[in-house]
Amino acid sequence: MSIRRGLIAVVVGGSVAACASEPGVIGPPADVPFSPQDVAASIFSLRFAADNIAVASVGTITDALGLTTPGFSAAPRRYERGVAPRGAIVPSFKPGSLRKLVADRAVRLSQGARNAVPLFPINFLGQTFVFDATTDSYVIDAARGGAPSDGVRFILYRLDPASRLPALPLAPFGFVDLTDESDAVSTRLRVRAFDTAGGDLPLANYLIDGAFGSVSSGVIVNLLTEGFIVDADGRFDFNLDETMETDDARGVTIATLDHRVISDEGTSTRLRVEGDIANDGSHSDLGFLFDINGSAGASEVDIRVVDGRQDGVIRHRGQTEVLISGTVAQPDYQAPRGGGFFADEIAALDEILFGIDDVLIMADELFRPLGELFGVR
């Protein structure tokens, strides 16, 4: 059974995305030699993607709506350079919860109900929420209009970088509209954010799409998101696709990821991940293929991570330039023709591998509103 679908209308490069100064992709020069420092610099901005102010605010807001668990992200991810999620993509996968969702769906369908899970209580629809500093919570402001009839509006505030809650004194600068675009096939959440202090500048426009179902081996979940986000740290255009499938007989979850991100530097990246993880967390075997195409040329990271140990290569223009071994926490780099690398080159190689983690963490944050709902976050 396949539940992979195309996302509906988020047109990056069309009328919606063009409002926010869409970047162009920088094509790789034909003869640029391999430089770890230049490759790392071409994806430097990826470290900031997960901390986008609109995405962080949506996380706080979905806590308030009860879609997610408060405290999911306690600190900006850019400061976690020593934390690599390559070995544990789905550390909190909950197949039992998914089986209950599938059973509930079957009951709803038999009763003529729609397949998707409603996202907002009916009394929230069309309402605007503001942050109440006295109670540290969002409350409805009945005097404010403009909220979508099929969703909710939240006023955006500058965030405290440590708590990721609105900073005091409150400094509103825009709003985010969350709309329920779910249908009989899947649950869909549209996110649109604007900076009204800067003249209604678009900060984000993306759609998160989630579906689940039963397969012969167990349960399958597919999450998709496509669109753009932008703030002072840069603009990122993305198309992220994750499928998680349980294999009850083997006691594993099979992960298939295909994430495409254009960094603020104009570098086109594509991260593909395939493999399986034991449901009890005792074993993981994952392959990572990370393509980087930008001003530093065309490079490819190809590694396999088994229970935290990794083995792979970095290729540039199709030629192997780096051999990778060791562990995720302590990688070892060797030149294929013998010898090692200087300290600044090793630091840059670390940053290239961290680019993989930056994309995974970005996806983690973007999928958060539906991830917990579907039992995969």
**pLDDT tens digits along 340-354:** 899 999 999 999 999
Tell me, what's the pLDDT at 11?
Answer: 27
CA nearest 256: which of 49, 7, 4, 1?
4
Query: Parallel, antiparallel, or unpaired for β 201-215 and 252-262?
Result: unpaired
- Is residue 311 within 8 Å of residue 304, measured between CB atoms? yes
Please report, as a single letter, which amino acid is at residue 75. A
Residue 66: exposure state from Cβ atoms within 10 A (0-12, 13-18, ≥19)? exposed
The residue that leads in pLDDT, 98 or 269, is 269
Query: Parallel, antiparallel, or unpaired for β 151-157 and 127-132?
Result: parallel
Instruction: Please determine, for residue 292, whether its predicted confidence score (pLDDT) is greater than 60.
Output: yes
Instruction: Please determine, for residue 13, whether its predicted confidence score (pLDDT) is greater than 50.
Output: no
Q: How many Cα atoms occupy the beta-carbon half-sphere of 320 within 13 Å?
A: 13
**25: pLDDT confidence band, cut at 50, 70 and 90?**
low
Query: Within 10 Å of residue 230's Cβ, how many Cβ atoms?
Result: 25
Tell me, what's the pLDDT at 86?
Answer: 61
Instruction: Please determine, for residue 56, whether its predicted confidence score (pLDDT) is greater than 60.
Output: yes
Residue 212 tokens read as 């689940």
Average pLDDT over residues 184-188: 82
Average pLDDT over residues 55-76: 65
Average pLDDT over residues 179-205: 89
Tell me, what's the pLDDT at 272?
Answer: 96
Tell me, what's the pLDDT at 7?
Answer: 28
Q: Of 28-42, 188-202, 254-268, where does the model show the most confidence? A: 254-268
Owner of token pair 């109670």: 135
Average pLDDT over residues 227-245: 93
Distance CA 191, CA 349 (A): 35
Tell me, what's the pLDDT at 93?
Answer: 38
164: left (phi over 0), alpha (psi -120 to 50) or beta: left
Which of 17-21, 250-254, 313-317 bottoms out in mean pLDDT, i.e. has the lowest? 17-21
Instruction: Please determine, for residue 262, whether its predicted confidence score (pLDDT) is greater than 90.
Output: yes
The domain locations on the chain are 32-371
Phi/psi for 216 (5° steps) reads -60, -30
Distance CA 91, CA 376 (A): 9
DSSP for 240-287?
A: EEEEEEEETTTTEEEEEEEEEEE-TTS-EEEEEEEEEEETTSS-EEEE
Instruction: Please determine, for residue 243, whether its predicted confidence score (pLDDT) is greater than 50.
Output: yes
pLDDT mean across residues, the chain? 79
Average pLDDT over residues 144-169: 88
Average pLDDT over residues 296-300: 96
- Is residue 331 within 8 Å of residue 315, measured between CB atoms? no
Distance CA 290, CA 260 (A): 10
Distance CA 215, CA 102 (A): 10
Phi/psi for 207 (5° steps) reads -120, 135
Average pLDDT over residues 202-214: 88
3-state DSSP assignment of residue 45: coil
Average pLDDT over residues 289-315: 95
Instruction: Please determine, for residue 63, whether its predicted confidence score (pLDDT) is greater than 80.
Output: no
Average pLDDT over residues 265-273: 96
Q: How many Cα atoms occupy the beta-carbon half-sphere of 273 within 13 Å?
A: 29
Distance CA 312, CA 302 (A): 5
In the chain, the percentage of residues whose pLDDT exceeds 90 is 42
Average pLDDT over residues 298-309: 93
Instruction: Please determine, for residue 245, whether its predicted confidence score (pLDDT) is greater than 80.
Output: yes
CA nearest 304: which of 46, 87, 146, 140?
87
DSSP for 137-178?
A: EEEE-TT-----TTEEEEEEEPBPTTT-SBPSS--EEEEEEE
How far apart, in Å, are the Cα atoms of 115 and each of 4, 18, 102, 341?
16, 33, 10, 55
Phi/psi for 180 (5° steps) reads -95, 110
Distance CA 145, CA 141 (A): 9
Instruction: Please determine, for residue 281, whether its predicted confidence score (pLDDT) is greater than 80.
Output: no
CA 96 to chain centre: 24
The residue that leads in pLDDT, 277 or 144, is 144
Tell me, what's the pLDDT at 273?
Answer: 92
Q: Of 93-102, 170-179, 212-221, where does the model show the most confidence? A: 170-179
Phi/psi for 272 (5° steps) reads -115, 135
Owner of token pair 């083995």: 311
Q: pTM of the prediction? A: 0.83
